[in-house]
Amino acid sequence: MNRNAELVRSSYVAIAPRLDKIIARFYAVLFTTAPSVRSMFPINMQSQRGRLARVLNHVVGALDRPEDLAPFLAQLGRDHRKFAVADEHYPVFGHALLTALASEAGELWTEEVANAWAQTYQFMAETMAAAARAETTPANWVGEIIEHRRLDRDVAAVWVRTEPPLPYRPGQYISVETAQRPRVWRYYTPTTAPRPDGIIELLVKAVGYGGVSRAIVSSARPGDTWRLGPALGRLPDQISPDRGLMLIGGGTGVAPIQAILHGMETAGPAPRNVIVYYGARRWESLHALDNLRSMSYRNRWLDVVPVVEEPPPATGPEVGRLIDVIIRHRTWADRDVLVSGSPAMLRATVGALLTEGLPLERIHYDPFVDD
């Protein structure tokens, strides 16, 4: 790791306990010095603040891995086109960020640390802006809901058609803005590989109250129009059908797993062997199980293990916590492992697998997911 990266990381670790204050200060400075950018952001900034925190955590953690950092920043730059972010905005954002960091760092903010952060931000801004300028696809797509099906109180399946079709790779996620929650973007992963008719199928779970997901589940209707951002995420680059795979999906986190399997089934070549562990609290919450089982019946390389925490009315699934069942089975030998679910599920599952001795380089997940 070079000297600048060391200084950025060590200073960030020292001020990380005050990250909430830093982010609040960042937006205060930003909106004071450039009030015109306020319209780019939602009225309620809670989710936006959390997203910025995850970006900072990921960037600082990847400073010694340029092969991961540069593609992440490039996709971030392409995604920010949907907010109408232009080259002239980056110096404004940088001034606000460095001011916020300095205000909380105190005596730690030496000239050397300040220069290291300034150079790091310059690299971030240049990478993002260059990727945005080079992109030729639309900044966003307009999609129309053609079907909305309530699966239970808190989960709905939604089919959206975009024109032209929104390109993505199986396992990538897309951002959605609805008319009910303007300027609030939420990430969802299509459950299938891209279709020629431009229809995207999403599995949406309502989380909390007043958010985008709750509005989609409760009040979205056919005919509604959305804005959708470009595809993001590098899960497709982290897996190979040449190796055995263990795919772990919790709740609606099974969506990228469905898409990856669908892509393998339709595009080929057939993978060596794949086992899917699909978990939920209750049997009736395994909404994707019929689809997964149908794929397993058609493909000898695929095996599906449903897991529920509460005893079901019929025999069949494993009972217990998803990670406990996986550890009991210990089927990860000679397999790469992909984990998909909520941030809490990711932390618990990845941590348990590492404790069991599975090397980190064989565990794959997308670190940038919404709470």
Q: Which two tokens stand for residue 166?
A: 């929104």
Domains and CATH numbers, the chain: 3-134 (1.10.490.10), 141-228 (2.40.30.10), 235-364 (3.40.50.80)
How many CB atoms are located within 10 Å of the residue 329 CB?
14
The pTM score is: 0.87
Report d(CA 335, CA 364) in Å as an integer: 11
In this structure, are residues 143 and 228 in contact, taking their beta carbons and an 8 Å threshold? yes
**Amino acid at site 320:** G
Angle at 340 (CA atoms; ends 138, 325), nearest 5 degrees: 165
Q: What is the pLDDT along the chain (371 residues), one digit of tens a residue?
A: 588 899 999 999 999 999 999 999 999 999 999 999 998 888 888 878 888 998 999 899 899 888 889 999 999 999 999 999 999 999 999 999 999 999 999 899 999 999 999 999 999 999 999 999 999 999 999 999 999 999 999 999 999 999 889 999 999 999 999 988 888 889 999 999 999 899 999 999 987 666 889 999 999 999 999 999 999 988 888 887 677 999 999 999 999 999 999 999 988 777 889 999 999 999 999 999 999 999 999 999 999 999 999 887 766 788 999 999 999 999 998 899 999 998 889 989 999 999 999 998 899 988 766 54
> Quick one: which of 70, 257, 82, 226 has its CA closest to 148?
226
> How many Cα atoms are found within 13 Å in the side-chain-facing hemisphere of 177?
17
φ, ψ dihedrals at 100, nearest 5°: -65, -45
Q: Do 362 and 337 touch, CB atoms closer than 8 A? A: yes
Question: Could you tell me the end-to-end alpha-carbon distance of the chain, in angstroms, rounded to an integer?
Answer: 31
